[in-house]
């Protein structure tokens, strides 16, 4: 058994059924999970961190554009 790091759902997996690096969706919340450790069985959510980083970068770019527009006036 493993636990989804996002929603806490118990996922019926056995250490001998999966390989490190394997990915699959959580059956409860559908977040993509990666097997990061076999002994003990440990899962990590993937995908969300990259999207958050991209959103933060986009916000920074918007702020720079606003500052440039203000300085042009």
Q: Which domains does the chain have, with CATH numbers?
A: 2-72 (2.20.28.160)
pLDDT at res. 44: 95
Calculate the average pLDDT of the chain: 78
pLDDT, one tens digit per residue, over 39-69 is: 889 999 997 554 444 444 555 555 555 555 5
Model's pTM, two decimal places?
Answer: 0.60
Backbone angles phi, psi at 3, to 5 degrees: -120, 130
Q: Is there a contact between 43 and 5 (Cβ–Cβ < 8 Å)?
A: yes
pLDDT at res. 51: 47
Q: Cα(73)–Cα(68) distance, rounded to whole angstroms?
A: 9
Mean pLDDT of 5-17: 91
């Amino acid at each position: 058994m493993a636990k989804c790091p996002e929603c806490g759902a118990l996922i019926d997996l056995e250490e001998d059924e999966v390989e490190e690096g394997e990915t699959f969706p959580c059956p409860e919340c559908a977040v993509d999970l990666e097997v990061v450790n076999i002994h003990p069985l440990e899962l990590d959510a993937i995908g969300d961190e990259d999207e958050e980083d991209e959103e933060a970068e986009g916000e920074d770019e918007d702020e720079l554009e606003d500052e440039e527009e203000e300085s042009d006036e």
